[in-house]
Amino acid sequence: MRMRLGCRLTFDLPAPTPMILLLNVHYSRASDLERPDLLVTDPPVAIEAYRDSFGNWCSRVVAPAGLMTISTDGVIRDDGRPDPADQSAEQIPVELLPAEALAYLLPSRYCETDVLSDFAWAQFNHEPQGWPRVQAVCDFVHEKIRFGYEHSRPTRTAVEALNEGVGVCRDYTHLAIALCRCLNIPARYCTGYVSDIGQPMPHSAMDFAAWMEVYLGGRWWVFDPRNNDTRFGRVLIAQGRDAADVPLTHSFGRHELKGFEVWIDEVGEADEPSARLQQAL
């Protein structure tokens, strides 16, 4: 299937402000892009592209004072299949893990494994290792946290999400990642698009999404504790230890978000209708 995806963010800045942007589709999906989701700014400014330490595509700009709009709009081909699953995927002992997976066992800014370790073992030690244990973590987090944009707070950690029982998708993901790491299962944070394809109507306002990947059976697998169901049309933007590594936008100065639109919609082979745009001011 073909999907049109993109975003439009508008900022009000009191002074010229350097910014880092992670808004482009991940390099692992580059070959699927029929029309690249090139970054466009209004007013036009110089854009410097680079790869961060996790391999994500990033852009640097200096936003001028006043209103500035940053947007992307692309078309991607997707196989239309749900997230892969393998109930038999086994947990790999720490001493046998590849070196690149070890960083995803350690505590990070929003995932305090040192604080949650005793709780995680008491809660999940009875669960079978491997896929069933990770699914048990996702089931627990999905039931424990009540979703609501009114509960969003950019500084909330996994421990705070557990104690408060409210949050948005990044809070579900941080808590699930922290619990998996406590159980010696490498887990990393992912951000990107998740479409509403196959979901019952009415659809809620579109937003960027957060989920996790865990290392089982020699490869990384997608788990989504926020939705905790079968999803189609998932498109990765960036991955890291937690949200601190992969903020969609990071400004080195004051700014106010004035407009926020995200879209990902299926389009036909012969035409490309206007995407459904949802705006939250």
Map out the domains of the chain as residue ranges: 2-77+247-267, 94-232
Of 11, 22, 49, the C-alpha closest to 193 is 22
Rounded mean pLDDT of 237-259?
A: 96
Q: Is the model's pLDDT at 77 over the cut of 50?
A: yes
Q: Is the model's pLDDT at 274 over the cut of 70?
A: no
Confidence of residue 276 (pLDDT cuts 50, 70, 90): very low
Which residue's entry shows tokens 């699953």?
Answer: 85
Task: State the pLDDT at residue 270.
Answer: 58
| 80 close to 235: Cβ distance less than 8 angstroms | no
Task: State the pLDDT at residue 202.
Answer: 73
Which residue's entry shows tokens 């809660």?
Answer: 123
Confidence of residue 281 (pLDDT cuts 50, 70, 90): very low
| pLDDT tens digits, 1-24 | 999 999 999 999 999 999 999 999
Task: State the pLDDT at residue 171.
Answer: 98
| pLDDT tens digits, 104-151 | 999 999 999 999 999 999 999 999 999 999 999 999 999 999 999 899
Task: State the pLDDT at residue 277.
Answer: 39
With a CB cutoff of 8 Å and minimum separation 6, the contacts of 115 are 159
The CATH number fitting domain 2-77+247-267, selected from 2.60.40.2250, 2.60.40.420, 3.40.50.920, 1.10.1040.10: 2.60.40.2250
Rounded mean pLDDT of 201-216?
A: 88
Sequence-ordered strand ranges (E) for 88-241: 146-147, 166-167, 187-194, 209-216, 219-223, 234-240
The reply to whether 94-232 shares the fold of 2-77+247-267 is: no
Rounded to an integer, what is the distance from CA 115 to the centroid of its chain? 24
The CATH number fitting domain 94-232, selected from 3.40.630.30, 3.40.630.10, 3.30.390.30, 3.10.620.30: 3.10.620.30
Task: State the pLDDT at residue 205.
Answer: 76
